[in-house]
Amino acid sequence: MKTLKKLWLIVPILLWTMGSCSSDDNGGGNSTTGPDFTIAEMAGSWIATEAVFIPENSNSGEDQVWIPRDGGELTLIIQTSGRFTLTVTPPDRSSYTYTGKMFFEEGEFFVIEFDKYPGEYEYWGVDITASTLYLNSTFGEYDFDGDGTFETATVLLTFARS
């Protein structure tokens, strides 16, 4: 009888505990909420104040491309859903555009999935202030010689809200 009374005390506590524990908002998957800010806070139009593309096997600063310092322009439009359009206008040739989606994997890691490579996630560094957005990756790409072939590059981007 004492054991039965103890069960009546334990069962409600277990049920309450199970009900109060829940998985995180993103169900362990992809989310628009990160550890320090949301994709919605990144939403808007951005223009690069500095964009540096460094070839994978760079030995000198001479093979780096700096936009807009060396000419050209780089713009980024981010929607609250995480959809984005990135337009790169190199200093010496026609512009090209990337589209895709940004999100936080597991609510922690910032990920970009380019429409050009569906299902392939690129992990980027990201930070934001009220007026500045910083993005960086060691797995970006850029067509350094203008031959239409994109080479792996470290990418360092600083944007101002426009």
Which residue ranges form the domains of the chain, and what is each CATH number? 26-161 (2.40.128.280)
In this prediction, residue 25 has a pLDDT band, given cuts at 50, 70 and 90, of very low
Query: What value does the mean pLDDT take over residues 42-48?
Result: 97
CB atoms within 10 A of CB 89: 18
Confidence of residue 7 (pLDDT cuts 50, 70, 90): very low
Q: Tokens in use for 96?
A: 């090209």
Q: Is the pLDDT of residue 4 over 50?
A: no
Give the pLDDT band (50/70/90) at residue 24.
very low
Give me the pLDDT at residue 12, please: 33
DSSP percent split of the chain into helix, strand, coil, nearest 5: 15, 45, 35
Looking at residue 106, its amino acid is E
pLDDT of residue 15: 32
Give the integer Cα–Cα distance in Å for 80 and 78: 7
* Burial annotation 96-107 (CB, 10 A radius, 16+ → b, else e): eebebbbbbbeb
How high is the pLDDT of residue 79?
98
> CA-CA-CA-CA torsion for 54, 56, 60, 62, nearest 10 degrees?
-50
Q: For residues 128, 130, 131 and 132, what is the CA-based torsion angle, rounded to 10 degrees?
A: -10
